A and B are shown apart, each in its own frame.
With several copies, the nearest count.
Chain A
Amino acid sequence: MIALLIRDLRLAMRAGGGFGLGLAFFLIVTVLVPFGVGPEGTLLARVAPGVLWLGALLACLLSLDRIFALDHEDGSLDLLATAPVPLEGVVAVKACAHWLTTGLPLTLAAPALGLLLNLPGPGYGWLTLSLAAGTPALSVIGAFGAALTVGLKRGGLLLSLLVLPLYVPTLIFGAEVARRGAEGLATATPFLLLAGISAGTLALLPFAAAAAIRINLR
């Protein structure tokens, strides 16, 4: 299992593996927002928490198809399915590798990007906290979506379509935490709900994802 984690991280680091690209995408989306909605500081400050959460979500989304699709194309997934490791574990490890290479860097970079969007002072801590609590859920839900679409050539867009609705609760609570934090309101309730979503998906979705992969390999 650790071998798999190491392999996935190593693949992410190698040329073309895409480590850091999610981050760059996040940066670019944040930069593009003012071009779209105009440069006024107050307007940007109001949309900042939401935009940052959306940007993080999209950056996650774009890297999802790496989770299983590549392994399916080159046949590794067949081989992993016949290897002496439980497929549920494979899913969990791959979601974890995805989080380490995408969610974690996003969380760490978010405050710097908050600066670009005039995020109000108290918002920084809450933004980081909410992302730290929410991105694991994004990775696991994404892994489930990737498992559903693994057999399809360029399932990328379909994957987005399947996964985005599943992301809605995470996004709502996450953005709510960040927004309330930025405005200095109480954040306990949405934060607990967010953490609950993360914990729940982490515990259950690997099983669903493994089942989906088994069906797709047939």
Chain B
Amino acid sequence: MSIWEYANPKRFMQTSGHVLPWVSGLAVLSLATGLVWGFFFTPEDYKQGSTVKIIYLHVPAAMLAINIWAMMLVTSLVWLIRRHHVSALAAKAAAPIGLTMTLIALFTGAIWGQPMWGTWWAWDPRLTAFLILFLFYLGYLALWEAIDNPDTAADLTAVLCLVGSVFAVLSRYAVNFWNQGLHQGATLSLDKEENIADVFYIPLLISIAGFVLGFVALLLLRTRTEIRARRLKALQARERMA
């Protein structure tokens, strides 16, 4: 059986209906565990004080924000090449989640920056790149909104996503070239020596898992809604023609 079978709308509706409650349950569970653990039961950092607790929101949100765009890139490609409608609708469904994640990363970062760097905002490359990512999400969503015909909209936004991804990567390098940064380097490297202490690390991992599961649950929900909306539109049009 090919994986593409799940790209069939009917099949997708059935499968996602079965999976959804489990994913949502797990998401709520791990998110609650990670955040509660991180918020209530971790010590303060010797340097950053209690502000380290922000990491449990900031890092998962930042990771998701980037990876959701990557996922949209993949689904857009699938739509352009294999023309599976679910794929296009999944990209559409993911964009608002990505936008929210970008906003969370930006807000928590800004709030964190105030005590750590003494400023809400600095034109650090990583932060700037995030702001640009935010603009890409905005443009992508605006294009979806602006076009009436759903297939045209899917095609054009997919093209935008492809071209935009190239430019997003370019912008990342450009921004790096333009200004040296204040922001932390990678903390989650595979090299154990450089990793942060386990007390912070384990709840962080749980909370990342919670964010990812939450994303999957929301994505499934939203994609189901999009499919229903498409069917509704088709039925309405058919009724008018009859």
Contacts and interface: CB of A to CB of B under 8 A. Distances in A.
Interface of A: 15-16, 20-21, 24, 27-28, 31, 34-35, 39, 41, 44, 115-116, 118, 144, 148-149, 151-152, 155, 158, 161-162, 164-166, 168-169, 172-173, 176, 189-190, 193, 197, 205, 208, 211-212, 215-216, 218
Contacts of B56: none
Contacts of B138: 24, 161
Contact of A152 (B120, B132, B147, B177): B147
Given A27-B135, A28-B135, A168-B167, A162 B177 contact: no
Contacts of A39: 122-123, 178-179
Residue of B120, B146, B164, B178 contacting most chain A CB atoms (<10 Å): B146
A169 B163 CA distance: 13
Closest 3 CB pairs of A and B: A39-B123, A169-B174, A172-B174
A15 B136 contact: no
Nearest to A212: B159
B164 A166 contact: yes
Interface in B124-158: 128, 131-132, 135-136, 138-139, 142-143, 145-149, 152, 155-156
Contact of B152 (A34, A116, A151, A211): A151
Residue of A165, A172, A218 contacting most chain B CB atoms (<10 Å): A165
Contacts of A158: 142-143, 146
Contact of A162 (B149, B160, B178): B160
B171 interface: yes
Name the prevailing secondary structure of the B interface residues.
helix
Contacts of B131: 31, 116
B93 interface: no
Contacts, number: 107
A164 B138 CA distance: 12
A16 B170 CA distance: 29
Contacts of B57: none
B177 A193 contact: yes
B162 interface: yes
B142 A151 contact: no
Given A28-B135, A168-B132, A172-B175, A16 B146 contact: yes
B167 A34 contact: no
A122 to B, nearest CB: 16
Contact of B135 (A164, A172, A212): A164
B159 A208 contact: yes
A76 to B, nearest CB: 20
A190 B173 CA distance: 11
A213 B109 CA distance: 40
A42 B91 CA distance: 41
Contact of B121 (A16, A27, A116, A197): A116
B148 A144 contact: no
B86 to A, nearest CB: 19
18 contacts: A16-B147, A24-B139, A28-B135, A39-B179, A44-B123, A115-B120, A116-B131, A148-B143, A149-B143, A162-B139, A162-B142, A165-B171, A166-B163, A166-B164, A168-B132, A193-B177, A211-B159, A215-B152
